[in-house]
Structure 1
């Protein structure tokens, strides 16, 4: 459940503007937590409250349901060595932890190293919220690769053809 006020969220959106959110990924996630009246400046003209409520959180029941699904997306991007998508996922999940009032998780994610496509950061996020991380990687090889990457190691003990050793 979101623990931040509408004013807190608007302030955070403004903090990120032009600083560490060049492409607006953090902003987009935060806007989902706004009610229609507070979100109105970010919406297309004529967007109704009903349309807003149906489109928020990509149709998920709320922030937590969205976050659990998005965690799977993050794991998938990490395992597929998708640097840009993985970085975006780290940003969005960090903002989600903030929305949920988990400043301890935000601090832990921020302090965790990024190498291996953000796997250490995503592992800290999942652990901090008590959400399963490894069940997101359904095959045993994927779970093993994710465990290695979260520990800052290459995805494969035999070497990586995709470059996560660099």
Structure 2
């Protein structure tokens, strides 16, 4: 069985937010034009995720969530967050929630995405990193927080 990759989950959450927000007429708490601030969050979040991806590509290392890691990356944005790509997805998703009006359901979905990411993807990846890099990874974890 193919495992659900983070970008697919991200898109699924966007679609779910839009369906709940518009199709079911959820109450919007952020009126127009203030909701357009969400676009800035979307751009910033996607750029953060893309920056992390570019570092992986520059180092020619594995970016696939469920494959074994081959390089411990600690430079660039990774000196501030161990998971900038997931953080970027979370920020972008919060931006979508704001852009579509900030309904309670969309904000809860953003929190659920972050919870799933933290407990499923990151927990799995950290286990793999510890197995592969041991004390070097533990030292990195002592210096750099999981999210920010």
Q: What TM-score comes out, normalization by structure 1 length?
A: 0.31
Higher relative contact order (CA 8 A, sep 6+): 2
The structure that is helix-richer by fraction is 2
